[in-house]
Structure 1
Amino acid sequence: MKAQEIIRSIEQEQLKSDLPVIYVGDTVRVGVKIQEGNKERVQPYEGTVIAMRNGGINETITVRRIFQGVGVERVFLIHSPRIDSIQVIRRGKTRRAKLYYLRNRVGKATRIKQRFDRR
C-alpha cells in the first residue's frame, strides 16, 4: 500500500485550492488557456454546469452553452493547469444531479431557477 500513499501525496500537490464551490445548475465562466503560436491567452467559456464527475484530481465538470443556435458541451478537468480560473456567475436551483434533459430542450425551456441561499 506504499505506492498508493506516494500517488496520493503527488496528487495532493497538484490540487488547486482557490476554486469556488460549484454545484450542478450553476452558470460558470471558465477561463481556458489557449496556445496560439508562441503566445498564450485566456479564453472565457461561459455556460451551465450540467454534470459533475469523480473527485480529487480527476474531478470534471461538463459545461453546456448555446453557440449560434447549436448546443455545445465541454468537459473540463478542473484541477488541470489549462484551466486559469473558474467564476460562478449565478447559482442554479435543481432537483437532480445530472441535467442531461436540457439537451432536448430549446429556448426558454432551458432556464433554471436561480438560487439565493448559497454564497
Structure 2
Amino acid sequence: MAKSSKASSAAAKKLSPEALIRSFESSQQKDDLPEIYVGDTVRVGVRISEGNKERVQPYEGVVISKRHGGLNQTITVRRIFQGIGVERVFMLHSPQVASIKVERRGKVRRAKLFYLRERVGKATRVKQRFDR
C-alpha cells in the first residue's frame, strides 16, 4: 500500500507537457497591461542597458498591428522620426518592456493599419475615439 500512495503522489507532482508549458507561461505573463487596440497611440517604456547602467527610453507611436496571444503577444508601433517612418515590434510580456501607457484611443475600422506606411504628413493621423 505504501508503494501505491508514493506512485500516486509522484504522478500528481509530474505534470503533462502541456500543463507544464501553461504553468510556465502564466508565471511569466504580466498582469498590469492596459487594454491596447489597433489605432491607439501608446507610449512604451523600453529598458536599455548601456554598460552597467540601465535606463528606460520612451517610444511613442500608433499601434498598427497586434499579433499572437498569450505570452508571445506582440504589437507593432509606428512613428515618424525626422520625416522617416520607424516601426518597432514589442513583445508585450518581455522584460525589456518596462511600461505601456495608452495616450489616446484611435477610431479605425481595420485590424491592421499597414496603409499608413504609404501616407505622408497629416494623412497619417488617426481620428480620436472617445467611447473607450
Please classify the TM superposition score into its range, dividing by the shorter chain length: over 0.9
The one-letter amino acid of 2:45's match is: G
Out of 44, 52, 62, the residue aligned to residue 58 of structure 2 is 44
Q: How many residues align?
A: 118
Measure the CA separation in 2 of the matches of 1:66 and 1:113.
17
Please list every run of at least 4 consecutive aligned residues from structure 1 whose deviation after the TM superposition is greater than 3 angstroms.
none
Q: Which has the higher contact order (CA 8 A, sep 6+)?
A: 1
Residue 73 of structure 1 deviates from its aligned partner by: 0.2
Q: Determine the structure 2 residue equivalent to 1:25.
A: 39
Where in structure 2 are there 5+ consecutive unaligned residues?
1-14
Task: Spell out, residue by residue over 1:69-96, the C-alpha distance to the aligned partner (whole angstroms, 9 max, x if none).
Answer: 0000000000000000000000000000
Would you tell me which structure has more helix in proportion to its own residues? 2
| Identical counterparts, % of pairs | 73
Q: Determine the structure 1 residue equivalent to 2:86.
A: 72
* SS of structure 2 residue aligned to 1:5: helix
Give the structure with higher Rg (CA). 2
Residue 2 of structure 1 deviates from its aligned partner by: 1.2
Q: Determine the structure 2 residue equivalent to 1:116.
A: 130
Measure the CA separation in 2 of the matches of 1:115 and 1:17.
25
Where in structure 1 are there 5+ consecutive unaligned residues?
none
Give the TM-score normalised by the residue count of structure 2: 0.88
RMSD between aligned residues: 0.9
Would you tell me which structure has more strand in proportion to its own residues? 1
